[in-house]
């Protein structure tokens, strides 16, 4: 068994993540989709509507190996889980679920990331959960890396799809309003934004498996239906990204990635004041295909952000992103102000089960920056360790006071100035700081 100190040091060590994105992969995914359509027809199931022409991501936007650390992957996974609403807690402590993978990843031959011994042991019992969650972490890491490289004058926010859509649509029968009744949805939106300008939206599908390359082909074929479920503007003009992370028990992990490069996704309208409360809408479900010769085709299942909804949807994205950050920092009151009733505001205002809460009462100086947030103490290989998640203090004060506009202007101005170090000598542990001002750190007590 590794010592706790060795585990912490390994979390901060950069490794290469192998990326597979090629014409051959696109062809295999098309074949897998065709086979799935054939089987669905034989079983008399409805044919899925899929995003056409998923194609390779240019190497200029996403290299075929990306250098990152396990801790940075867990940071993005934790933020992605902060509004998950699937655990017994009210959401504030759910992001600590990322810490169960502290010892799951390591560097293999050629300094490429792979599953560690513990990661392999865990996979024997919790394959579906581990592959899903680690697949999400790697997908969000690469999406952030790629879009930041493609749009260097913009910031990129990762926002949960279900939280965002619930501001306007009833996703299930449990939600108030007319239920969309459609279970295919991407897991996240990537919002590419710049203060005072229209945002661009990329639906993201994130999957993972322990089964091999053929399983990734099937997962990407399935993802083609999930990303197609949200249209922003014109029919078939919404860009998207689809990822499937292959986590073999032997060999390096590989992220298989494809995109649909379209002209749309721009919320091309005068932006709203993001400091104002978001009004909950009741948008009828369904996507309107284009008609011919004056005809109006039947609606296709899914969620259609029409041009008249652009200002509202950009507002919804920004407020959901702010809620995710304040939840990651452990502040219930600040989080609740950014959510509507259907998005789960009550989850952050009611009673909480014992041991599932987090409180924003911790302060630390990391890599020369003052952060505020929440902490979690637990045992790692028998030793007590402290994890801390938070936001740069000045930025948090803006979010705490509902000043989303001020927060975004400050983050955009500082987007290239955040420290890149992976270890803080005074803290004595791994540290990850993201361009949104958030931090995840851990140390031995």
Q: Are 220 and 256 in contact (CB under 8 A)?
A: yes
354, pLDDT greater than 50: no
Q: What separation in angstroms does the CA of 275 have from each of 41, 241, 261? A: 49, 30, 32
Report whether pLDDT(412) > 90: yes
Q: What's the pLDDT at 91?
A: 47
Q: Is 303 helix (H, G, I), strand (E, B) or coil?
A: strand
Distance of CA 380 to the CA centre of its chain: 26
Among left, alpha and beta (phi > 0; psi -120 to 50; other), residue 55 is beta
Phi, psi of 19 (to 5 degrees): -120, 130
Read off φ and ψ for residue 441, nearest 5 degrees: -140, 155
Stretch 16-45: mean pLDDT, rounded? 97
pTM, 2 dp: 0.95
What's the rounded Cα separation, in Å, for the pair 19 and 2? 29
Residues in the chain: 445
Q: 380-383 long-range CB contacts below 8 Å, 24 or more apart?
A: 380/4, 380/7, 380/102, 380/103, 381/1, 381/2, 381/3, 381/4, 381/7, 382/4, 383/4, 383/444, 383/445
Mean pLDDT throughout 96-107?
94
The burial of 294, by beta-carbon neighbours within 10 Å (0-12 exposed, 13-18 middle, 19 or more buried), is given as: exposed
Strand partners, 314: none
Judged against a pLDDT cut of 70, whether residue 90 lies above it is answered with no
Provide mean pLDDT across the span 312-329. 97
pLDDT higher than 50, residue 45 = yes
Interval 248-302: pLDDT, tens = 999 999 999 999 999 999 999 888 999 999 999 999 999 999 988 778 899 999 9
Percent of the chain at pLDDT > 70 equals 96
Question: How many helices (H) and strands (E) in the chain?
Answer: 11, 17
Helix or strand or coil: residue 20? strand
Q: Partners of 189 in the beta sheet?
A: 159, 203
Is the pLDDT at 92 greater than 80, yes or no? no
pLDDT of 22 higher than 90: yes
Q: How far apart are CA 179 and CA 172, in angstroms?
A: 5
Q: How confident is the model at residue 430 (pLDDT cuts 50, 70, 90)?
A: very high
173: confidence class by pLDDT, cuts 50, 70, 90 = confident
């Amino acid at each position: 068994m590794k010592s706790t100190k060795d585990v912490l040091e390994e979390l901060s060590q950069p490794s290469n993540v192998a990326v597979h994105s090629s014409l051959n992969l696109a062809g295999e995914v098309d074949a897998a989709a065709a086979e799935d359509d054939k089987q669905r027809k034989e079983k008399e199931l409805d044919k899925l509507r899929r995003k056409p022409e998923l194609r390779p991501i240019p190497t200029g936007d996403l290299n075929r190996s990306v250098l990152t650390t396990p801790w940075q992957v867990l940071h993005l996974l934790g933020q992605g889980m902060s509004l998950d609403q699937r655990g017994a807690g009210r959401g504030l402590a759910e992001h600590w679920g990322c810490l169960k993978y502290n010892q799951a990843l390591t560097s293999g031959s050629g300094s490429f990331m792979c599953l560690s011994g513990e990661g392999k042991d865990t996979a024997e019992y919790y394959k579906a959960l581990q592959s899903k969650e680690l697949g999400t972490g790697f997908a969000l890491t690469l999406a952030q890396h790629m879009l930041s490289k493609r749009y260097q004058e913009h910031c990129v926010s990762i926002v949960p799809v279900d939280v965002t859509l619930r501001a306007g649509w009833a996703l299930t029968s449990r939600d108030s309003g007319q239920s969309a009744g459609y279970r295919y949805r991407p897991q996240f939106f990537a919002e590419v934004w710049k203060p005072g300008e229209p945002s661009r939206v990329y639906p993201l599908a994130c999957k993972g498996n322990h089964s091999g390359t053929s399983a990734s082909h099937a997962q990407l074929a399935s993802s083609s239906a999930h990303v197609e479920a949200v249209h922003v503007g014109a029919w078939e003009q919404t860009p998207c990204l689809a990822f499937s992370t292959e986590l073999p028990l032997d060999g390096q992990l590989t992220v298989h990635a494809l995109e649909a490069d379209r002209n749309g996704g721009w919320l091309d309208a005068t932006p709203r004041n993001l400091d104002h409360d978001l009004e909950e809408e009741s948008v009828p479900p369904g996507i309107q295909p284009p008609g011919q010769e004056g005809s109006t085709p039947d609606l296709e299942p899914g969620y259609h952000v029409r041009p008249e909804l652009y200002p509202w949807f950009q507002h919804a994205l920004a407020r959901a992103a702010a809620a995710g950050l304040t939840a990651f920092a452990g502040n219930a009151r600040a989080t609740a102000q950014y959510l509507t009733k259907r998005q789960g505001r009550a989850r952050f205002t009611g009673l909480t089960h014992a041991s599932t809460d987090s409180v924003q009462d911790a302060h630390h100086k990391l890599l020369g920056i003052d952060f505020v947030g929440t902490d979690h103490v637990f045992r790692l290989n028998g030793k007590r360790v402290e994890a801390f998640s938070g936001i740069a203090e000045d930025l948090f004060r803006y979010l705490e006071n509902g000043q989303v506009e001020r927060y975004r202007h400050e983050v955009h101005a500082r987007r290239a100035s955040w420290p890149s170090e992976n270890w803080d000598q005074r803290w004595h542990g791994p540290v990850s700081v993201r361009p949104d001002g958030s931090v995840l750190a851990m140390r031995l007590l």
